[in-house]
C-alpha cells in the first residue's frame, strides 16, 4: 500500500455475501483496505436492501460473482481516511450515493455522475456502483460492517448533527431516484402522472410528483398492502391490476383520464415485473433480460405525445418492448440511473422542511446477522414488508 494512507491492522468483519440465487449468507471477510489516496473506510451504521438488490439476489444481473457483498444504500462513520482526502475526518457521519463518481470527468462535470467514466473498467454502459456486480466495477457493497468508499471528496455527504442516519439514509438512492424520475417526466402543473410499481422507489416518485405540481398521481401494483401504502403515505389514487385484470389495466387508465391516458408514465418496477405471462416466460427462458411488462404498459398507457420514464433496472442484452407504438404515438422516452449527488442538498432541504419523510417507509429493522431473513421477507413481500434496514453490531 502506498500513498501515505493511514493503514489499520487487518481485521475480520461480518458481511452478507451472495452464495447462489436466493441464497445469502453472513460470512467473515477481511476488512476493506484503503486502495486509493482518496478512499475512506466507513463503519456502516445503517444499510438498506434496495428493490434492485433483488435482481442480483435472483441472479438476473450478469457477472454477479459468488462471494460478492451487495448494498448500495448505506450510511456510517468514517473510520480510516486516505492521504488525499480533504473533506472528511475520522468520526464524521456520512451518507453515501450509490454512484461512485470522480467529480471531474466529461460526464461528472456535466452533473451526470451515474455515468462517470473513471469508476467502472468493465464497460462503456454505466459508472461504478457499490455492491452491484462486476458489471458496475466489482466494488463491494455496504451490507457489511465496513466498506471502502472511493472518491471520498466527491460523493459522501456529512449528516447534519441534529439528524439521525435514518432521516437521510435514502438520500443514497431511492429518494433521489424517485425525484429524478418525476423530474425526467417534465411534469407540468396539473398533469396526471401514472407510476407502475408501489415499491419504495415508486412511493418516492409519487411524493416527488406532488412536489412538482402534479394534478393527479396514480400508482399501479397488485400487492394490497403496498397499494394501501401508496394511498395513505403518498396520497395517490391506486389501480390494482390483479383486480382489474392484466389485459384491462391500460383501458382502465384511459378511462380514468378522459380516454387519452396519463400525461406521464413511469416504470418503477424493472426486470421482475409480473402481469404478463409472455413477458415473464421469455425472461425466464433467457430470451430477454427479465420481464419488460412495466415498459410495455407505460408505452401503451401514456397519452399520445406524452412522456415515458424508465428507472426500473434491466440487465443487458435486450428486452421486448413496443418501439413502433412509441414512435407512432410520438413519445418522449427518458431514462437514467440517478445522478444522486446532484440532488442531495435539495432533497435534504425538503426533509428538513417536513415535505418529505423518507424513513416513513421503513417497515423492518433487522440486525446484519439477520440479513438472509431480511432478503427472504423482502423478496417474498412477507409481513407487509416495504423496506428493510440492516443494522450492524458496531452501529452504536
Hey, which residues between 309 and 368 contact another protein (CB under 8 A)?
315-318, 339, 341-343, 346, 350, 353-356
CB of 60 to another protein, least distance (A): 9
Query: What string marks each residue from 183 to 222 as x (binds another protein by CB under 8 A) or -?
Result: xx-x--xx-----------------x-xxxxxx-------
Quick check: helix, strand or coil at residue 186?
coil
Q: Does 12 bind another protein (CB under 8 A)?
A: no
Q: Does 288 bind another protein (CB under 8 A)?
A: no
Listed ranges 57-65, 218-226, 243-251, 368-376: which one lies at the site for another protein (CB under 8 A): 57-65
**Which position among 124, 161, 162, 258 is part of the footprint of another protein (CB under 8 A)?**
124
In angstroms, the CA 9 to CA 2 distance is: 15
CB of 336 to another protein, least distance (A): 8
CB of 172 to another protein, least distance (A): 15
Strands 388-391, 40-49: pairing is antiparallel
Q: Does 123 bind another protein (CB under 8 A)?
A: yes
Q: Does 290 bind another protein (CB under 8 A)?
A: no
State the DSSP string of 154-170: TS-EEPPTTS-HHHHGG
**Which position among 128, 202, 358, 371 is part of the footprint of another protein (CB under 8 A)?**
128
Quick check: helix, strand or coil at residue 252?
helix
Q: Does 3 bind another protein (CB under 8 A)?
A: yes
Q: Does 372 bind another protein (CB under 8 A)?
A: no
Choose between 45 and 135: whose C-beta lies nearer to another protein. 135
Q: Does 102 bind another protein (CB under 8 A)?
A: yes
Q: Does 119 bind another protein (CB under 8 A)?
A: yes
Listed ranges 29-37, 46-54, 197-205, 244-252: which one lies at the site for another protein (CB under 8 A): 29-37
State how far the alpha carbon of 5 is from the alpha carbons of 44, 85, 356, in Å. Answer: 20, 10, 39
In angstroms, the CA 177 to CA 170 distance is: 10
Q: Does 154 bind another protein (CB under 8 A)?
A: yes
In angstroms, the CA 48 to CA 333 distance is: 30
Least Cα distance to 265 among 230, 224, 226, 216 occurs for: 216
CA 267 to chain centre: 13
CB of 203 to another protein, least distance (A): 14
CA atoms within 13 A on the CB side of 272: 14
State the DSSP string of 27-43: EEEEPP---STT-EEEE
Choose between 106 and 277: whose C-beta lies nearer to another protein. 106
Choose between 341 and 364: whose C-beta lies nearer to another protein. 341
Listed ranges 58-66, 238-246, 275-283, 305-313: which one lies at the site for another protein (CB under 8 A): 58-66
Least Cα distance to 79 among 133, 11, 18, 29 occurs for: 11
Main-chain dihedrals φ then ψ at residue 284, nearest 5 degrees: -65, -30
CA 210 to chain centre: 20
Query: Which residues contact residue 227 at a Cβ distance below 8 angstroms, ignoring those fewer than 6 apart?
Result: 198, 219, 221, 238, 240
Q: Does 122 bind another protein (CB under 8 A)?
A: yes
Q: Does 285 bind another protein (CB under 8 A)?
A: no
In angstroms, the CA 55 to CA 28 distance is: 24
Q: Does 100 bind another protein (CB under 8 A)?
A: yes
Cβ of 345: how many Cβ atoms within 10 Å?
Answer: 10
Q: Does 396 bind another protein (CB under 8 A)?
A: no
Counting residues that bind another protein (by CB under 8 A) gives 84
Amino acid at each position: 500500500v502506498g500513498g501515505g494512507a493511514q493503514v489499520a491492522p487487518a481485521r475480520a468483519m461480518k458481511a452478507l455475501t451472495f452464495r447462489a440465487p436466493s441464497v445469502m449468507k453472513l460470512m467473515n471477510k477481511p476488512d476493506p483496505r484503503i486502495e486509493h489516496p482518496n478512499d475512506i473506510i466507513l463503519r456502516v451504521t445503517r444499510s438498506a436492501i434496495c428493490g434492485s438488490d433483488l435482481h442480483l439476489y435472483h441472479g438476473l444481473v450478469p457477472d454477479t460473482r459468488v462471494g460478492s457483498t451487495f448494498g448500495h444504500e448505506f450510511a456510517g462513520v468514517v473510520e480510516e481516511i486516505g492521504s488525499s482526502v480533504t473533506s472528511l475526518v475520522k468520526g464524521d457521519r456520512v451518507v453515501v450515493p450509490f454512484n461512485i463518481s470522480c467529480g471531474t470527468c466529461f460526464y461528472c462535470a456535466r452533473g451526470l455522475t451515474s455515468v462517470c467514466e473513471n469508476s467502472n473498467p468493465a464497460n462503456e454502459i454505466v459508472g461504478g456502483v457499490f455492491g452491484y456486480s462486476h458489471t458496475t466495477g466489482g466494488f463491494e457493497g455496504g451490507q457489511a460492517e465496513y466498506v471502502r468508499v472511493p472518491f471520498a471528496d466527491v460523493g459522501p455527504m456529512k449528516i447534519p448533527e441534529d439528524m439521525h442516519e435514518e432521516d437521510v439514509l435514502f438520500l443514497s438512492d431511492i429518494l433521489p431516484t424517485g425525484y429524478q424520475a418525476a423530474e425526467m417526466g417534465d411534469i407540468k402543473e396539473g398533469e396526471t402522472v401514472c407510476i407502475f410499481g408501489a415499491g419504495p422507489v415508486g412511493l418516492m416518485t409519487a411524493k416527488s410528483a406532488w412536489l412538482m405540481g402534479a394534478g393527479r398521481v396514480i400508482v399501479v401494483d397488485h400487492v394490497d398492502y403496498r397499494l394501501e401504502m401508496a394511498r395513505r403515505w403518498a396520497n395517490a389514487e391506486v389501480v390494482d391490476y390483479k383486480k382489474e385484470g392484466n389485459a384491462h389495466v391500460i383501458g382502465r387508465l384511459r378511462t380514468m383520464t378522459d380516454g387519452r391516458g396519463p400525461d406521464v408514465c413511469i416504470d418503477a418496477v424493472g426486470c421482475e415485473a409480473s402481469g404478463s405471462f409472455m413477458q415473464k416466460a421469455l425472461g425466464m427462458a433467457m430470451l430477454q433480460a427479465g420481464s419488460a411488462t412495466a415498459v410495455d404498459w407505460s408505452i401503451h398507457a401514456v397519452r399520445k405525445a406524452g412522456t415515458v420514464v424508465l428507472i426500473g433496472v434491466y440487465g443487458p442484452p435486450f428486452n421486448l418492448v413496443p418501439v413502433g407504438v412509441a414512435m407512432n404515438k410520438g413519445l418522449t422516452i427518458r431514462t437514467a440511473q440517478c445522478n444522486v449527488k446532484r440532488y442531495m442538498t435539495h432533497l435534504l432541504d425538503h426533509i428538513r422542511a417536513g415535505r418529505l419523510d423518507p424513513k416513513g417507509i421503513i417497515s423492518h429493522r433487522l440486525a446484519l446477522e439477520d440479513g438472509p431473513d431480511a432478503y427472504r421477507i423482502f423478496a417474498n413481500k412477507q409481513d407487509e414488508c416495504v423496506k428493510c434496514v440492516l443494522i450492524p453490531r458496531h452501529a452504536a
